[in-house]
Each structure stands twice: as structure tokens, then as C-alpha cells.
Amino acid sequence: MKGFIQRLALLIHWIGFGFFLFGVVIGLGGVLYQSILEFASPDGLSVSDNERFERAVAYGSPSFGEVLLNYLAIGAVGVGIGLFLWVLQWLISGNKSLWPWKSSE
């Protein structure tokens, strides 16, 4: 039974590590992606901020801040789930290592 619990803890550790990486990549990737879209848009220099705002309101598209917060919220959820699973596997197996391929024992 101990072998099964150790394998279960390892599985939980890998899943949590995946969620943690997913959260970090989505959060940082979303920030970079939105920044590139906002500041490197082809009409960025020719359209004033007021025109861009009026266009966004008219077409119902979300603002830069709303989309950025969505990316960061998804990233925070991924990191939160990853940390929860890390604590869970630590309680099950006693392994405190953040990296699934290393053992603190």
C-alpha cells in the first residue's frame, strides 16, 4: 500500500507542477501578447487614444486592462492549483522538493 501512495503522491506532484507551469506561462504570455498587440498595432500611431476607445466601445471589444486581468486571473488560478497540489503531495509523501524529479529524502 505504501508503494501505491508514493506513486499517487508522485502523480499529484507532476499534475501540480504542470498546473504551476501552465499558470506562469499563461500569465506571462498573456502580458507579453497583450503588450505586443497594444503597442505594436498597425494603426497604433495613426489612431488617437480617443478614436481607439470609441471603436472599442462601439464594437464591444474589451479593453487592454480587462483582457490583461483575464490572463493574469487564469495564470493565478493555475499557480494556485499547482501550489495546492504541491502541499497535498507533501502531506502525503513528505517530499518537500518543488521539482517532481527530485526528492528531499
Question: pLDDT per residue over 9-46, tens digit each?
Answer: 888 889 999 999 998 898 888 878 777 766 666 555 45
Confidence band, pLDDT 50/70/90 cuts, at residue 5:
confident
Provide the whole-model pTM: 0.67
Residue 69: domain span? 17-41+49-93
In a domain, 29, yes or no: yes
Question: How high is the pLDDT of residue 7?
Answer: 86
Question: If we measure between CA atoms, which residue out of 100, 79, 82 comes closest to residue 6?
Answer: 100
In a domain, 105, yes or no: no
In a domain, 12, yes or no: no
Residue with cell 497535498: 88
- How many domains, in total, are found in the chain? 1
Q: Is residue 47's pLDDT more than 60?
A: no
Question: How high is the pLDDT of residue 4?
Answer: 86
